[in-house]
Structure 1
Amino acid sequence: MNAHAKDPSFKPWYRSRWAWFVFALPIIVVVASFLTLSIAIVSDDGVVATDYYKKGLSVNQDLTRDQYARDIGLIGQLTVKGTQLELRLSANDATGIAGQPLNLSAQNYASKTEDQTIVLLPRGDGLWYGQLAEPLGIGRWQLYIESTQWRLQSETGGEPKAPLVFKAGT
């Protein structure tokens, strides 16, 4: 017979607390790994931009447009009332801004699905008007006002209470 079978103080390994403690650690890690994998699969946030290489190459063009806006002293004030937009632009040299439609890009930091692009139409006297598809939601927004020659930018946290000031990027 086995020598341990006669010893009353001997316990098999599966009755030892320390054995289960040692086995529990790797089991917990494996379960947590599968949980992390399932979260990663379910909450896929997709590609940020499908044309990321092209956007990377256009950075220098954007910097040139920012510099042009600085050179002509371009400043904008955007008033947001619900979905209604009113933009007032002023510049030292207004020849580059008069009479052309402008694009307003509203990009939500947290959710790409809330991003909007709006065409602002000129009404004269340095004013442009447009309408959002939906009011700016909660969260931080990066806003760009662009023409083919220049670009202004600003940030806001949701719908602003006071007019937003737009300046050339720094």
Structure 2
Amino acid sequence: MNEQTSKPWYREAWAWMVLAPLVLVVLVSAVMVSMAVRHADDTVSDTYYKDSRMYHFTADQDHRAQALGLAAMVQFQRTDNSVNLELNGELAYPRQLLLTMSHPVEADLDRHIVLSQVSAGRYSGSVPGNLEHRWYLRLMPELDPQQHQKAEWRLKGEINFDLGEAAPLNPASQ
């Protein structure tokens, strides 16, 4: 009689046929969860109620910009990552302006560019990073991005670098 010796469970083929899919599912799930956490989209602001109450302050900025007849044209240069801006309106031109480029999806990619006056109504600065895809633009005389509610006026616009390198900036329409 030939007695069959039993092998340890990890040397049995049937054990690995059962365990392999389970181990694979656990590994793929761990990778997917880590990717979802690391690359999550920005969520709605936790202070949405406070932000909505502050709307009338920012609307005043748009009304002031309209009253001053403000409008601007911004021109980006991909070759040297520079930006030139021409501002028109009835105001004493500030020495510096802040141009904020807001990414539509990732707040971490937002850029704040200080533009220095070259001549009356003309400003220039440099943009860090690549100039590609779509961005929301906001121009204001307040140089601290955290203090944008205190700015005297603001202009808004949008640019898609896949379509061109220039965009108009105007007061937000009410």
Q: Give the TM-score taking structure 1 as reference length.
A: 0.66
Give % identity.
21
1:80-122 per-residue CA deviation (whole Å, 9 max, x = no partner) reads 002101110011x223xx1331111101112222210111111
Residue 122 in structure 1 maps to residue 120 in structure 2? no
Rg larger in structure = 1
Alignment-derived partner of residue 6 in structure 1: none
* 40 and 52 in structure 1: CA distance in 2 versus 1, 3 angstrom threshold: farther
Structure 1 residue 38: Cα displacement:
8.3
Structure 1 residue 65: Cα displacement:
0.5
**Structure 1 SS opposite 2:131:** coil
* 73 and 57 in structure 1: CA distance in 2 versus 1, 3 angstrom threshold: same
Q: Which of the residues 105, 109, 128 maps onto 2:100?
A: 105
* 162 and 141 in structure 1: CA distance in 2 versus 1, 3 angstrom threshold: closer
Structure 1 gaps of 5+ residues are 1-30
Q: Which of the residues 137, 149, 154 maps onto 2:152?
A: 149
Residue 75 in structure 1 maps to residue 71 in structure 2? yes
CA contact (8 A) 2:77 2:165 kept: no
* 57 and 76 in structure 1: CA distance in 2 versus 1, 3 angstrom threshold: same
Give the Cα separation in 2 of the matches to 1:40 and 1:52.
28
Supply the AA of the counterpart residue of 2:84: E
CA contact (8 A) 2:72 2:170 kept: yes
* 55 and 77 in structure 1: CA distance in 2 versus 1, 3 angstrom threshold: same
Structure 1 residue 43: Cα displacement:
1.2
What does 1:2-151 correspond to in 2, within 5 Å? 39=32, 42-44=35-37, 45=40, 47=43, 49=45, 55-82=51-78, 83-91=81-89, 93-95=90-92, 98-138=93-133, 140-147=134-141, 148-151=151-154
Structure 2 gaps of 5+ residues are 1-24, 142-150
Give the Cα separation in 1 of the matches to 2:129 and 2:68.
32
Give the Cα separation in 1 of the matches to 2:67 and 2:32.
49
Supply the AA of the counterpart residue of 2:126: Q
* 54 and 136 in structure 1: CA distance in 2 versus 1, 3 angstrom threshold: farther
Give the Cα separation in 2 of the matches to 1:81 and 1:112.
23
CA contact (8 A) 1:89 1:126 kept: yes
* 107 and 131 in structure 1: CA distance in 2 versus 1, 3 angstrom threshold: same
